[in-house]
Structure 1
Amino acid sequence: MVDHTGTGETGFSGRYAAALYALASEQKILNDVVEQMAALGRLIHESADLRRLVETPLTDTAKAAPVLAQALAAQGFLPIIRNYVGVVITNRRLRELPRLIAGFAAYVATKRGEIVAEITSAHALTDTQRTQLRARLAEAGYSQVHLREHTDPSLLGGLVLKIGTKLFDTSLKSRLNRLNYSLKGAA
């Protein structure tokens, strides 16, 4: 796909991110929008009901739009965020909302000169681990890094770090798979 935004974001995610970024900048509320988009991502992640509404492929968008708009208004989200979610629903992209939120965060980070590091670990990182990881990344030349953390219990231990096109996999699951393949080759 072609990057139409100039930030490495491609496809519809990049277009949605660029449009929201431009509108928020024009209204001089960019920092508030960045904070609220992150809060929306956390809300979806933490609320089983909201996550189910977003992820269910058979969600009736005509019914979901007013319910979601009312819920976001009750949570104190800005009109620009509520309208953005409304456009997402109208365009039948509700299932893609978490991806659009992540795409917006990546777009903002790129515009601000930050590098986004995707970190997947078996368990949530502690503050000490996060600090140590940032120090190692700084040593490797990644001084302004925005960490986007995910958990995946199937990794068993260790972590998977993705920065741009580079992937560093120190997970126990990967190590066991490599050991398994090497043992099969030796037999």
Structure 2
Amino acid sequence: MASRFTRLTTVVPQLARGYAAPAKTVKVPVTLFGLNGRYATALYSAAARQNALDAVEKDLKALDALVVKDKGVQAFLENPTINRKVKLDGINALLSKAGKPSEVTKNLFETLSENGRLDQTTKVISSFAELMSAHRNELSLVITSTKELDKATLNKIAESLQKSGLSEGKKLLVSNKVKADILGGLLVEIGDKSIDLTVSTRLAKLNKLVTDSI
């Protein structure tokens, strides 16, 4: 059984085990940090070498949907008292519900199990999704409002940003969050940038102005 890894270079062979094909150079679309970022990056590299990126993404999306649907699954994965083998069997059973999983996907969970990291499953899935989005030259656009916005309004905002330098020439993935506590206006988050046009922020600035003048 493989020991816990300390460097990314030891994870890639674990995820790509069982293949005799010569390794090819893989350019990762974005650099991720932290433990989950390293696992996701290793998974991306292994999947790219086997031309299995789409298959792995499909597997992970199916598993993530099951976790979201049943909070008991996440509790099961995070429970430190449950044997690693039992957890791995549970993961494999969930994956089989969506069809036959990719060998690279199965190797990921075997590696997570061997290293005692199955509790990080959802975080690794999220990090891999970030890599795939960058791979497709996509950029997240989250528009927060006090009530749900209609499609025409969302498209109008997206089109304006698409023409600006903020979009970086990438395809925008638009989503709408509803938060009553912003009181009004919009909070626009595009990639790692944000444009805060909310009433709550304006009021906070006004209150600070009044307080500082006293």
TM-score (norm 2): 0.64
Note closer, same or farther for the CA distance 1:48–1:103 as it changes in structure 2 (3 Å cut).
same
Matches of 2:148 and 2:91, distance apart in 1: 29
Partner residue of 1:135 out of 153, 159, 168:
159
* Shift in Å, 1:179: 3.9
8 Å contact 1:117–1:148 — kept in the other structure? Answer: yes
Partner residue of 1:31 out of 49, 54, 61:
54
* Shift in Å, 1:24: 1.9
Note closer, same or farther for the CA distance 1:119–1:42 as it changes in structure 2 (3 Å cut).
farther
Question: For residues 71-114 of structure 1, what are the alpha-carbon distances to aligned partners after superposition, in whole Å with 9 as ceiling and x for unaligned?
Answer: 221232514324323423433333432322222122223334x1
Partner residue of 1:48 out of 50, 71, 77:
71
Paired residues for 1:88-103 under 5 Å: 88-103=112-127
Partner residue of 1:74 out of 75, 82, 97:
97
Matches of 1:120 and 1:45, distance apart in 2: 22
Matches of 2:158 and 2:126, distance apart in 1: 20
Q: Which SS does the other structure have where 1:110 is aligned?
A: helix
2:171 aligned partner: 145
CA RMSD of aligned residues (A): 3.4
Note closer, same or farther for the CA distance 1:33–1:47 as it changes in structure 2 (3 Å cut).
same
Q: Structure 2: which amino acid aligns with 1:163? A: G
Q: Structure 2: which amino acid aligns with 1:138? A: Q
* Shift in Å, 1:161: 0.5
Paired residues for 1:105-184 under 5 Å: 105-112=129-136, 114-117=137-140, 119=142, 121=144, 127-141=151-165, 142=167, 143-147=169-173, 149=175, 151=177, 153=179, 155-156=181-182, 158-164=186-192, 166-184=193-211
Note closer, same or farther for the CA distance 1:11–1:132 as it changes in structure 2 (3 Å cut).
same
The aligned length equals 181
Note closer, same or farther for the CA distance 1:172–1:38 as it changes in structure 2 (3 Å cut).
farther
| Greater radius of gyration (CA) | 2
Matches of 1:81 and 1:127, distance apart in 2: 36
Question: For residues 110-157 of structure 1, what are the alpha-carbon distances to aligned partners after superposition, in whole Å with 9 as ceiling and x for unaligned?
Answer: 334x14326263666654454334312211132323537585747546
Note closer, same or farther for the CA distance 1:153–1:22 as it changes in structure 2 (3 Å cut).
same
Matches of 2:48 and 2:73, distance apart in 1: 28
Q: Structure 1: which amino acid aligns with 2:115? A: N
Note closer, same or farther for the CA distance 1:39–1:153 as it changes in structure 2 (3 Å cut).
farther
TM-score (norm 1): 0.71
Matches of 2:79 and 2:174, distance apart in 1: 26
Note closer, same or farther for the CA distance 1:170–1:38 as it changes in structure 2 (3 Å cut).
farther
Matches of 2:202 and 2:66, distance apart in 1: 34
